Amino acid sequence: MAGMAKRPRPFSKSGATTVQTPTTRALTVAALPNDPVSLAARREARTRLPEFSAVDLVMQYETHNPRKPVFSRDLSALADAYPHHRFLIQQLLVGVSLHFALKPRAFQSYQSSHLGIENFIAFLNSDEPLQSVPTNVADLSYATGRLFHAWLMRKHSGRASNRKLYSYLRNAILALQKKHGGSPVVGPVIEWPPGPRATEQVSESYPGATLNALVGACLEDIKYVIDKMSSFLAQLGRAAPFVDNDGVLVNVRSSRYRAKSSLTSVESEWRAMATAYNIHPTWPLGMPLEEATMTFSMEEQRAMYQGMQSAHGRARRAIQAMSFGPQGKEMSHGQNAYFSHFAFSAASLYPFILFVQINTGWNLESVLSLSLPLDSHIESDLVDEHYCIIYSSKQRTGKAVSHRTNRKSPYGVYRVLRFVEKMVTRHSSSPHFLPGQLWQFLPVKNLWMKTGTMLTSVTSGAIPLYSATFLTRHAIPVHTDARRPVLESRRLRTTVQTARRRQGLSIDQMQGLQGHADVDTTSVHYDDDVGATELKNQQIRKLQERHVADFRSYHARLAQSATLQELREAVRGTRHVRQQHLRLGRADDPLHLTQDQVTHLMSPVGQTYIAACTDALAPTWPGAEKFVSAGERCRFFNRCSMCDRALIFKEALPWVARRIRDLDDLRLIIPAPE
């Protein structure tokens, strides 16, 4: 209404003046008819199969790049070079347009799609052992994707763009199948194997000795920090603070001998900390930033010097000489060591992060995503009340990851995280406290004024520096070419997964623990290093022994009551169809086969390398549906031992025995894969 006040826009400030912009005439678009006939016509037009043979072979799109506003490529030369794939190229161009839709993309995105089509057509016309040469999208299968992946890795080894080319081709095919999946020339949506990884360099796991050393170092630091921070207030209450001119000399050198003073260095440190706490009970987190920086500083000492026997001076000297950490592996020194008794430092907090990272197997980003309150990440376990499930998320994908832990274990993930939460929330009333941040710590005093903040949170970019300091303190060797070795998060995660595999977890169980969408992601990225290869070598030996056992007790049915020669003689010389059916009926009784299956067995099509096949169009070996499309014949003769369609005749037994002997010989002469 004209007299009604205009509603304020979101985030507009009250009382703020707005600049009136001149109104422009709105573009008028004719409304489309919404009667049932028009709606049905538009619905039919959206689902109508395009004329693929009439598709223009020119790719032309608008881009984001102002220097290259238009991407244009002509694929006519490619179609002329491979005329038998012209229709497939036109289908792929339609899939590209469906994938990109009307939203402009980057120039490189269109370039990757164009190169993906060119590489795919080159692959189809290479010497790859394809089951059949596809002429349209409906002929593509899971096996085609696997072979294309292998061709890219072999033909263009080390090329960083392999991943993008494969991905954009797959997206184009999937977009076409989702839109027109009911067409006989498009086919249903098929499962595609994962493409080449972002980098072909395998992320090697750390040796088992290194992992054990890391866990031991974490526990050593964690036990020390828990003991000192938990008992700080109690021990502080038992220590008497210094008094001006009381005649007590501080000892900053010997922890055993009192020398001229009546105190050891440890006793001097506790009395100095009691003095500091008595003089400034809120220092530093309860003070303003500038005041906390000046407290117990050299400038303050010069301004209010009270002599060598003042309580303030002796406390400052003792605190400046103290350290925090196990003997020879100190985490902080001086006033920062005093702060470490009640607030985390970067060095004292990192062992907790690393310990959680090792025990959960999560990415670093998932560990750092844990926040306050911790209860928002914890759910009770439905199986055992003593266990709980801790959840976090991957920031890049938003996927949840979980870890099951024991509530009662003193150094389990649950108790460790609860301790960190307890120590951090002690300072929730501080003006410097960071709400919601679990991994927050007090940096060294020299940085307070430079950064303008006192408490700060751990970031993934600073983790390498913390890990380098951790490795140096504990003298843990990490074989690398870097001048200052650091812990790589991906290598660490691969090490944890290899250790889990060594404990007996399957690759499918690891997939669930890591929160991967499919098992191939787990296998490609975390099951391909030296440690995993060693485990695979052991499994290969077991598989070889099992393979020999399978041949000795063949899974396929053994035709003991009839031979292939007897079946052929049963129908030889019989021309009458009815009489032939009668003889076939007598022949199939002992084998429990149909007459069509017996006829198929006697034909050359029914013969394989060793076994005979009753129905090559419907194999039953595991995973057959991925590699053999509907209506295609199975040619994977090495899978016959796992297929119910296979049948062994007596004539093939010598070849079975020869195959067993060959396998025994190969086990002895073929080295384990490295």
Residue 603 has what pLDDT?
Answer: 59
Which residues have a Cβ under 8 Å from the Cβ of 42 and sit 6 or more positions away? 32
Give residue 626's pLDDT.
Answer: 83
- Residue 655 and residue 516 in one domain: no
Region 645-668: what's the mean pLDDT? 71
- Say what percent of the chain tops pLDDT 70: 72
**Predicted pLDDT of residue 531:** 56
pLDDT over 60 (residue 554): no
Q: Provide the pLDDT confidence category of residue 422 given band limits of 50, 70 and 90.
A: very high
Confidence at residue 433, expressed as pLDDT on a 0 to 100 scale: 95
> Which residue, 466, 494, 528, sits at the end of a domain?
528
**CA nearest to 94, candidates 43, 59, 134:** 59
Q: What average pLDDT does the segment 343-365 reach? A: 93
Buried-exposed string 397-421: b where 16+ CB fall within 10 A, e elsewhere: eeeebbbebebeeeebbbebbebbb
Same domain, residue pair 362 and 501: yes
pLDDT at 523: 57
- Half-sphere CA count of 73, side-chain side, radius 13 A: 19
Q: Is 388 a domain residue?
A: yes
Asked whether residue 577 carries a pLDDT value surpassing 70, the answer given is no
Residue 26, pLDDT score: 42
pLDDT at 127 over 80: yes
Neighbour-count burial for 2-35, b at 16+ CB within 10 Å, e otherwise: eeeeeeeeeeeeeeeeeeeeeeeeeeeeeeeeee
Greater model confidence, 466 or 557: 466
DSSP assignment of 639-663, as one string? GGGG-TTEEE-GGGHHHHHHHHHHH
Give the residue, 588 or 442, on which the prediction is more confident.
442
pLDDT digits (tens, 9 = 90+) for 178-191: 888 878 888 888 88
Type and span of the H or E element at 558: strand 557-558
Residue 324 main-chain phi, psi, to 5 deg:
-125, 120
pLDDT value of residue 23? 42
pLDDT-based confidence at 581, cuts 50/70/90? very low
Whether 570 shows a pLDDT value over 60: the answer reads no
Asked if 48 and 179 touch (Cβ cutoff 8 Å), the reply is: no
More confident residue, 245 or 488: 488
380 and 519 part of one domain: yes
Element containing residue 212 per DSSP (H, E): helix 208-230
pLDDT at 7: 43
Residue 559 has pLDDT above 70, yes or no: no
- Give residue 280's domain range: 239-341
Task: Note whether residue 70 is domain-resident.
Answer: yes
Of 193-207, 451-465, 497-511, which has the strongest mean pLDDT?
Answer: 451-465
Please report the sign of the dihedral spanned by the C-alpha atoms of residue 315, residue 320, residue 325, residue 326: negative
- pLDDT at 258 > cutoff 80: no
Alpha-carbon distance of 123 to 136, in angstroms, equals 15
Residues 519 and 585 in one domain: no
Domain at 365, CATH number = 1.10.443
Mean pLDDT of 55-65: 84
User: What share of the chain has pLDDT > 90, as a percent?
Assistant: 29
CA-nearest of 242, 245, 250, 281 to 266 is 250
Q: Which of 273-282, 496-505, 570-579: highest mean pLDDT?
A: 273-282
Q: How many domains does the chain have?
A: 4
The pLDDT tens digits for 364-405 are: 989 999 999 999 999 998 888 899 999 998 766 677 888 899
Give yes or no: residues 66 and 172 share one domain: yes
Domain check: are 86 and 163 in the same one?
yes
Greater model confidence, 202 or 464: 464
Same domain flag for 559 and 519: no
pLDDT at 14: 42
Whether 623 maps to a domain, the answer reads yes
pLDDT of residue 509: 60
Averaged pLDDT of the chain: 79
d(CA 513, CA 15): 54
Identify the domain boundary among 325, 341, 357.
341
Q: Are 328 and 313 in contact (CB under 8 A)?
A: no
Please indicate, yes or no, if residue 319 is contained in any of the structural domains: yes
Mean pLDDT over residues 642-666, rounded?
73
Q: Residue-wise over 73-110: b if at least 16 C-beta within 10 A, else e?
A: bebeebbeeeeebbbbbbbbbbbbbbbbeeebbebebb
Judge contact between 634 and 619, C-beta under 8 A. Answer: yes
3-state secondary structure 296-351: CCHHHHHHCCCCCCCHHHHHHHHHHHCEECCCCCCCEECHHHHHCCCCCCHHHHHH
| C-beta of residue 394 within 8 angstroms of C-beta of residue 420 | no
- In this predicted structure, what is the pLDDT of residue 20? 44
Same domain, yes or no, for 479 and 374?
A: yes
pLDDT at 6: 43
Say whether both 380 and 503 belong to one domain: yes
- Between 489-502 and 208-230, two packed helices, what is the crossing angle to 10 degrees? 110
pLDDT at 582: 42
Predicted pLDDT at 516 = 58
- Which of 662-673 are b and which e, b meaning 16 or more Cβ less than 10 Å from the residue's Cβ? eeeeeeeeeeee
- Is residue 409 within 8 A of residue 415, CB to CB? The reply is yes
Is residue 12 pLDDT above 50, yes or no? no
Confidence of residue 518 (pLDDT cuts 50, 70, 90): low
3-state secondary structure of 138: helix
Considering the domain architecture, whether residues 636 and 659 belong to the same structural domain is answered as: yes
What's the pLDDT at 624?
87
Work out the angle at residue 390's Cα, subtended by the Cα atoms of residues 386 and 396, and round it to the nearest 5 degrees.
170
pLDDT tens, residue by residue, 196-238: 765 555 567 788 888 889 999 999 999 999 999 999 999 998 9
pLDDT digits (tens, 9 = 90+) for 307-347: 677 888 888 888 988 999 998 999 999 999 999 999 999 99
Mean pLDDT of 604-628: 77
Contacts of 640 (CB under 8 A, 6+ apart): 556, 608, 609, 610, 611, 613, 621, 646
For range 592-611, the mean pLDDT: 61
Q: Of the residues 288, 312, 341, which one is the last residue of a structural domain?
A: 341
542 found inside a domain: no
Strongest mean pLDDT among 188-202, 462-476, 610-624: 462-476
pLDDT band at 490 (very low <50, low <70, confident <90, very high): confident
Cis amide linkage into residue 284, ω under 30° from 0: yes
Q: Same domain, yes or no, for 281 and 380?
A: no
Is 518 contained in some domain? Answer: yes
**Nearest C-alpha neighbor of 357 from the set 215, 227, 562:** 215
Asked, for residue 38, whether it belongs to a domain, the answer is: no
- pLDDT digit string, tens, across residues 519-546: 555 555 555 555 556 666 666 667 667 6
Pick from 492, 486, 463, 464: nearest CA to 206: 492
Which tops the pLDDT comparison, 31 or 670? 31
Residue 90 has pLDDT above 80, yes or no: yes
Please answer whether residues 41 and 49 qualify as being in contact, where contact means their C-beta atoms are separated by less than 8 angstroms: no
**For residues 473 and 183, is the Cβ–Cβ distance under 8 A?**
no
Same domain, 365 and 274: no
- Is 615 part of any domain? yes
- For residues 537 and 667, the answer to whether their CB atoms sit within 8 Å is no
Confidence of residue 61 (pLDDT cuts 50, 70, 90): confident
